[in-house]
Amino acid sequence: MALSLGTTEPDSPLPQVGSDRRGGVRYRRAALMGVPAFLAAATLVVLTAQGALAAQFAISGMPFTVTADSLEGTGFGQFGALDNMAEGSPNAGDTGGQVLVIVTAIREAKLTNLCQSVELGGTNLVITAGNKGTPVKASGLTTDSTEISGKLAAFDNIEIGGDASTFEKPPIKGPLGSFGQQADTVDIKNVRQNNYATTATRFTLPDLHMGFSSKGC
């Protein structure tokens, strides 16, 4: 969600870039099913840009945690995708270098008390921002997540089950024939995500702090 610290399976196209998926990932319909309304509601919005591509870069394969007290956004969309690691990545394990993710995208987002952490061999690199009265702001925010939760989520004019390639509300589109959902606005409390990638066309992080800690977010 916040800074891009890291990011996993077959094909997810760019925003209207045909079958050019983020790093050549192959897309599977099964991957798109599921992202139900509840998930969408609980889904924090911070994502990858460039259309149906999950992340336009090879992910490290190291998951990171993102939390926020609240997320408010306009232009929300969500669909399934696959992210790819660099060939020969030591983090591939038995995944084959690919990870099935939930792509969440928001045109304009505000987050309060943002925290992002990644475990690095016994310690955690932790980033915090927006915790002193001024929220974090992001444009064209997208996140690739394997798990999303929230205490309360509210959507205005949500559409569930639409073909993600036809979406106009979020900043990116999904692949043709992919199951997705979109809404005019999203408001989520106590958001928590397990992410592999995050991108934004612009990220403003007031009161930014980065350091190492024995505990993550």
Here the tokens at position 79 are 């669909």
Domain ranges of the chain: 29-110+132-207
Is it the case that residue 33 has pLDDT exceeding 80? no
Mean pLDDT of 17-46: 38
Residue 23, pLDDT score:
42
User: Residue for token digits 């066309």?
Assistant: 201
Question: How many other CB atoms are found less than 10 A from the CB of residue 160?
Answer: 15
151 contact partners, CB below 8 Å, separation of at least 6:
189, 190
By CB atoms closer than 10 A (0-12, 13-18, 19+), residue 49 is buried
Mean pLDDT of 161-169: 96
Q: Which has the higher per-residue pLDDT, 43 or 207?
A: 207
Contact 142, 7 (CB under 8 A): no
Chain mean pLDDT for the chain = 81
User: Residue for token digits 């932790």?
Assistant: 126
Which stretch of 20-24, 188-192, 194-198, 213-217 has the lowest confidence by average pLDDT? 20-24
Residue 8, pLDDT score:
39
Is it the case that residue 3 has pLDDT exceeding 60? no
Helix and strand totals (H; E) in the chain: 2, 10
Q: What is the largest CA-CA distance in the chain?
A: 44
Is it the case that residue 151 has pLDDT exceeding 80? yes
pTM of the model: 0.75
Share of the chain above pLDDT 90, in %: 70
